[in-house]
A and B are shown apart, each in its own frame.
Chain A
Amino acid sequence: MRLVKQAIDRDGSGTITLFPEDPEDMWFTYNLIRPSDLLRASALRRITTESATGSTSSTRVHINLLIRVEKLDFDTQSSQLHVSGCIIEETKYTKVGQWHTLDLELNRNFTLEKKDGWDSVARNLVKEACDPAKQADVWAVIMQEGLAHLAVLTGQRTVLRQKVEMTVPKKRGTGKQGDHDKALEKFFQTTLDTLLRHIDLGSNLPILLASPGFVAQAFLKFILETATRTGNKPLIGQKGNFVVVHAASGYLHSLNEVLQSPEVLARLKDTKYARETRLMDTFMSLLYKDDGRAAYGPREVEQAVEKGAVGRGGGILLISDSLFRAQDVGTRRRWVGLVDRVRETEGGEVRLLSGTHESGRQLEGLGGVAAMLTFPLEYLDGDEEEEDESALPKRETNGEKT
């Protein structure tokens, strides 16, 4: 993402013009735009004109539209963002009050104006999005016998691209082993075919093969054998990119374990997801110690922040980015306030975790927000928590549909 123009006043009002360059930027944009914001972008609109005789003719025109955002729709698979809203500026072809859905496109500027001004979280997001240091994507195949999840890990999110599920007969006595081996080979073949369909072999990305037991190893062996047999040069060329890792199961949440494995850390030391995973891990172990220095859940964390426990000297606030995606302005403001308070007043650290990474999901399981405290706290009654939790947005499920 490139920041084209920034015109923000001290009170936070103003506009920012951005230039998205790759699909990942759409994800940033999705997180940035909130309902009731003003968005100006180029649009393709079909204009229908009626002649005096009553015959109609329709033409497509490129126009710049300014809309007030009503609804956002992000397609995780194709990384496309559709923003619909009400046109608020009259043009040659459109009137105020007409509806339009803007399909934000790559390499086309858009200008955004926040209704309530640019808060710190939004500004940080823009900063982060425009950070030129690109983070490499990683492919991961999490598998067990008869089940494989193909996912791509980008800096911001984990996208499940495909799930492969097949029935592999179990071992059954002498002479019947053939069924199992045959089915397993078929499963490998299907998984490989699926992987090749999704992956761009030219991009030279690391591919993690993770499984319990020996499935991943057997799969790698199968891949290399198949590549040699079929003379698939690009695939043979990927040989060095495959990393076999241990995972507890073939489900996507095993990614956590995968990302903590030394093999992966050696390769992907400073990626955002590796950092986030490590952070969550630290938090969980602190929580298991049960010495009162770990807090989770909205109510609890807010109380901790209130008491100044998330401050200088090790206080870290972990917060899922999905909280800021709340439709309700009040809810968003609440979290932004919390973040601002920790960062500015208390002097603690704030870490935004992507809700689509496994670590972020883990955090969402805890209520979307957690904190490592500088001193132990005894907590008050958590009666109100329930309503808080129910106010949380549902976790992203888009990625799992396919």
Chain B
Amino acid sequence: MSRHKLVKALDLDEELDDFDGGAESDYGEEVGAEDKEQLRLGTAKVRAVLGPEVSITDKEIEDSLWHYYYDVDKTVNYLLGQRTNSQTPKKTKKQNMDAEVKKPDAPFSIADFFSDSPWLNIPEDRRGEILIEPLYPRGKLLGGTSNPDGAPKSKLAALAAARKKKENQRVEDGQNATSSVALLDKLGHKPRQAKSDNALNLSNPKPSSAITEQTVNEQPRKYSRRKSKGLESPQNDQPVKEGFIRSHSLASPDIEKKPEITPTAGPSVFARTIFGAPTVSQQHDIQTSNRYVLAPDTHAEFDFTGPSPDDIVTKAQNTKGPTKKSHKQPPQPSSGDKSVNAVVQGVGDVTIEEHKVRGKTLDVVAEFERSKPKNAANFVVIGHVDAGKSTLMGRLLYDLNVVDQRTLDKYRKEAERIGKASFALAWVLDQGTEERSRGVTIDIAMNKFETESTSFTILDAPGHRDFIPNMIAGASQADFAVLVIDASTGNFESGLKGQTKEHALLVRSMGVQRIVIAVNKLDTVQWSQDRFDEIFQQVSAFLTSAGFLAKNLAFVPCAGLTGDNIVRKVDHPQASWYTGAPLISLLESSEPITRALEKPLRMTVDDIFRGGVQNPLSVSGRLDAGNVQIGDAVVMMPASQTASIKDLEVDSEPAEWAVAGQNVILHLADIEAKYLKSGDVVCAPSAPIPCITSFIVKILAFEHITPMHCEVHKGRLHAPGRITKLVSQLDKASGAAVKGKKPRMIKPGSVARVVVEVDEQVPLEQGGRVILRAGGETIGAGLVE
């Protein structure tokens, strides 16, 4: 990731919030019983030490104790010091910070700076500071601010500047403390830091180490108390947490390298380990000649080697360590080597953490098996135009309470207004303006409903012959089919010649095995059993001849408009002859279908649309094979463009992964809409689907086939092409090529092998089921070889 991105990713508002307000925000919350007891005891001790003449409230004592982890001595020192000073050092610092954030360009006040210093015996390091500080505004010019009169800087600049100042102050405070502990004790100036540094110095007398350790301790407080609590959990030696804390010290060397650091405070052990031992001259350079350059540079350099503050915050929030005892454990001073190791380890941990933000690399198949999904089935509703497919499905959804009464009443009213009252139920699925005004389904409508055992997706296909391409698209996503037949006189007969036949053949050739035949509109023939039987005879004869097995056929008489025998059983006296189950039970008896979850990803794009403000480009479809998850890279064929999956939805619900058989919406990133069209295939980059212009198909002819122009359909994909060659006629039973001369023409109903050429490359692979159409008729369907 480039540094610019990191800068962009920095949430300034949050940074600033944390900066000035967070320090005290949740101070003292979640005080456990144990803590309370210790506090009580501590307070008593402190009181005893202070004596009665000192008027300090219990609250103050408790607070201080809390600060010093029940260290009575320190607390006493602090409280005394506090009484000596009119302001608490903490407050001063906070005010300074506020002032710096708000008015970052306010000239450095020397008076302020020396408010805590003795008049004489100014430590050397501080003298150095004086010389440097006033130069800052000049340095800024190089940082890009063109405003000479010190107009407000950018937030980032302000933040960085403020931080730097704070850091300086800390460093300098720390040094002051280390050099003059006694003095501090006397004056009670900033006892907290002094004490802690003192403690640190005992174990590691090097001043530089003290600085580093202090930074470690101080850094989290920059963000918020809560976070530091989470961090300083009892198991401080836990690799991740420790690493995290240490990682700040990785960030801090940057700060420490700043010119403000005097040579007396040499680089820390960490810094030396990481950057190598600096020579004195280098340091000198930094201090003198390069300071103008470096001062503004620190804005950019700050922190970027480590995780961004946001990451740290997130990480800290995610770390659900026990917060109760967090304050009890003072940070463990550790030897230089150890902490170096910890830093390295911490850096490693953090880096890994960063990579994990994107893409979870789940084992999707395992996830899927673990999720124990409900049976899911897609079924396509087919039949001749006006057989009542949409109405039947509308009724089904209404009776299952997927559609509420109010919506339906609204539809009814609107339908009546345009004189199509009987279409109200169909409007549940026919959402298109054109569809409604014409009273005919044009495109596939997808709807979902669930029964106790299965969750179904309805694909309501258009019956009109002009929209068979859409029907093909729907049927290609179906596991089984519901064939709706209009039982009324004359309509059944015309339907059988028309799309009843064509649809049935199409779904069969697309691999649908099971078909439920809903003999609709039986109410118009007074639930005549004769009529039902007649239809049963003819349709089952036809379907068996089309290659459906008799056991895979189920007939049910019903009436979509009235809702008889759809969800509830028919109670019409004339229909008493029917003893079977209603339509819904027949749907439920469908068997779950096993899918190719492990195969390379394949999804035919059904639709391309704008998925919302967040997702400018989304595609929908059904996963034909394989699985997919958020963060995956995919290839769109035939454009051969890669895209990444930003987000995905399964059945319109947000999800992290999807497997074959599910209806998904993929929200894509890193691709432009111009590369996509419906019918494209989303593939795994490792195994993209081949794009071809010529292929051999074994087809079952529906019509006469000669070398001719045709359209090739596969799901949503359709491409103009032509049959260029009739290779051989095949024996229907054995599949072997019929010996003899080359066929001149393939008659309807026979099987043949033909060569098809398409004008543009189409994504097709072996075993793909294609439909060939010409002149508005399906001429054949078959398998790509």
Interface residues of A in 368-401 (CB under 8 A from B): 379, 381-383, 385, 400
- Please give the distance in Å from A237's CB to the nearest CB on chain B: 28
- Interface: A314 (CB within 8 A): no
Binds B, one of A3-11, A106-114, A212-220, A222-230: A212-220
A139-172 interface mask toward B, CB cutoff 8 Å, 1 = contact, 0 = none? 0000000000000000000000000010101111
Partner of B706, one of A287, A361, A379: A287
Asked whether, in the complex, the Cβ of B673 is within 8 Å of the Cβ of A400, the reply is no
Which segment of A38-46, A71-79, A247-255 sits at the interface? A247-255
The answer to whether A365 and B722 touch (CB under 8 A), given A180-B432, A382-B742, is: yes
User: Knowing A167-B673, A212-B467, A251-B720 touch, does A296 contact B744 (C-beta < 8 A)?
Assistant: yes
A218 / chain B contacts, CB cutoff of 8 Å = 434
Docked-complex contact B720 and A252, CB < 8 angstroms:
yes
B324 interfacial contact with A, CB 8 Å: no
B window 683-706: CB within 8 A of A: 704, 706
| A328: Cβ under 8 A from any B Cβ | no
How many inter-chain contacts with C-beta < 8 Å in the A-B complex?
A: 110
Task: Please determine whether B776 and A257 come into contact, CB atoms closer than 8 angstroms.
Answer: yes
Cβ of B288 within 8 Å of any chain A Cβ, yes or no, is no
Bound Cα distance from A365 to B464, whole angstroms: 30
Q: Could you tell me if B433 and A169 are in contact, using CB atoms closer than 8 angstroms?
A: no
> A58: which B residues are within 8 A, CB to CB?
none
Task: Please name all residues of chain A whose beta carbon is closer than 8 Å to the beta carbon of B718 when the two chains form the complex.
Answer: 249
B469 in complex: contacting residue of A249, A252, A290, CB < 8 Å: A249
Q: Taking the complex as formed, is B783 at the interface, i.e. its CB lies under 8 A from any CB of chain A?
A: no
CB distance from A227 to the nearest CB of B (A): 21
- Chain B residue nearest to A253 (CB atoms) is B709
A287 to B706, CA, bound (A): 9
Contact status of A213 and B464, CB under 8 A, knowing A252-B720, A296-B706, A362-B708: yes
Residues of B within 8 A of A400 (CB): 759
B745–A214 touching, CB < 8 Å: no
| CA distance in complex: A169, B606 (Å) | 9
- B-facing residues in A12-33 (Cβ within 8 Å): none
Q: Which of B99-107, B144-152, B394-402, B439-447 contacts A (4 or more CB under 8 A)?
A: B439-447
Which of B66-74, B184-192, B341-349, B607-615 touches A? B607-615
Residue A101 at the B interface, CB < 8 A? no
**Shortest distance in angstroms between A327's beta carbon and chain B's nearest beta carbon?**
21
B610 close to A382 (CB less than 8 A): no
Given contacts A169-B607, A212-B467, A366-B707, contact A248 B673 (CB under 8 A): no
Say yes or no for A191: interface residue by CB 8 A criterion: no
* A59 on the B face (CB < 8 A): no
Q: Is the CB of B776 within 8 A of A365?
A: no
For B708, the chain A residues whose CB sits under 8 A away are 362, 365-366
Are A173 and B673 in contact (CB-based, < 8 A)? no
Given contacts A180-B432, A288-B704, contact A251 B775 (CB under 8 A): no
| B223-266 interface bits toward A, Cβ cutoff 8 Å, 1 = contact, 0 = none | 00000000000000000000000000000000000000000000
Interface residues of A in 193-245 (CB under 8 A from B): 212-214, 218
Chain B residues in 8 Å Cβ range of A362 = 708-709
Contact with A along B521-539 (1 / 0, CB 8 A): 0000000000000000000
The answer on a CB contact under 8 Å between B709 and A361 is: yes
How far is it, in angstroms, between the C-alpha of A105 and the C-alpha of B564 when the chains are bound? 76
Answer whether A181 and B433 are a contact pair too, CB < 8 Å, given A167-B608, A251-B720, A365-B707: yes
Task: Tell me the minimal C-beta distance from B618 to chain A in angstroms.
Answer: 10
B466 near A213 with CB under 8 A, answer yes
Contacts of A180 in B (CB 8 A): 432
Interface pair A213/B720, CB less than 8 Å apart: no
Q: Which residues of chain A have C-beta atoms less than 8 A from B709's C-beta?
A: 253, 358, 361-362, 365
Q: Which residues of A contact B464 (CB under 8 A)?
A: 213
CA of A61 to CA of B727, assembled, Å: 58
A159 to B380, CA, bound (A): 40
A177 on interface, CB distance cutoff 8 Å: yes
Given A212-B466, A290-B747, A365-B709, does the pair A177, B433 have CB atoms closer than 8 Å? Answer: yes
Which residues of chain B are within 8 angstroms of A297 by Cβ–Cβ distance?
A: 744
Q: How far is the CA of A249 from the CA of B709 in the complex (A)?
A: 12
Chain A residues whose CB sits within 8 angstroms of the CB of B469 once the complex forms: 249
- Which chain A residues border B433 with CB–CB below 8 Å? 177, 181
For B482, the chain A residues whose CB sits under 8 A away are none
- Bound-state Cα–Cα, A251 to B775, Å: 10
Interface string of B433-468 (1 = CB under 8 A from A): 111001000111110000000000000000010110
Q: How far is the CA of A385 from the CA of B707 in the complex (A)?
A: 14
A382 cross-chain contacts in B, Cβ below 8 A = 741-742, 744
Chain A residue at minimum C-beta to C-beta distance from B608: A167
A334-374 vs B, CB cutoff 8 Å, 1 = contact: the mask equals 00000000000000000000000010011001110000000
What is the CA–CA distance of A358 and B709 in the complex, to the nearest angstrom?
9
Contact with B along A245-267 (1 / 0, CB 8 A): 01111011110110000000000
**Which has the most chain B C-beta neighbours within 10 Å: A179, A249, A256?**
A249
- Interface hits, B407-448 → A, CB 8 Å: 431-435, 438, 442-446
A184 nearest in chain B by CB position: B434
- A-contact 0/1 string along B372-415, CB 8 Å cutoff: 00000000000000000000000000000000000000000000
Q: Give 1 or 0 for each of A291-306: 1 = CB within 8 Å of chain B CB.
A: 0000011001000000
Chain A proximity of B435: nearest CB distance (Å): 8
Complex Cα spacing A296 to B446, Å: 46
**A287-B745 in contact (CB<8A):** yes
A51 within 8 A of B: no
Could you say which of A169, A176, A253, A290 contacts B720, with CB atoms under 8 Å apart? A253
A402 at the A/B interface (Cβ < 8 Å)?
Answer: no
Residue of A248, A254, A383 with highest tally of chain B CB at under 10 A:
A248
Q: Which residue of B lies closest to A370 (CB)?
A: B706
Is A55 part of the contact surface with B, judged by Cβ < 8 Å?
A: no
Interface residues of B in 592-625 (CB under 8 A from A): 606-610, 620
B427 to A: closest C-beta gap in Å: 10
Task: Enumerate chain A residues within 8 angstroms of B608, measured Cβ to Cβ.
Answer: 167, 169
Interface check A56, CB cutoff 8 A: no
Q: Judging by beta carbons under 8 Å apart, are A385 and B742 in contact?
A: yes
Query: Could you jot down 9 A-B contacts, CB within 8 Å?
Result: A172-B609, A180-B432, A247-B776, A248-B774, A248-B776, A288-B704, A297-B744, A300-B744, A367-B707
Interface residues of A (CB under 8 A from B): 165, 167, 169-174, 176-177, 179-181, 212-214, 218, 246-249, 251-254, 256-257, 284, 287-288, 290, 296-297, 300, 358, 361-362, 365-367, 379, 381-383, 385, 400
Chain B residues within 8 Å of A, Cβ to Cβ: 431-435, 438, 442-446, 464, 466-467, 469, 606-610, 620, 673, 676-678, 704, 706-709, 711, 718, 720, 722-724, 741-742, 744-745, 747, 759, 773-777
Q: With A176-B609, A253-B774, A362-B709 given, can you name 11 additional A-B contacts, CB distance below 8 Å?
A: A167-B676, A169-B608, A170-B606, A172-B609, A173-B431, A174-B431, A181-B433, A213-B467, A248-B773, A249-B720, A284-B704
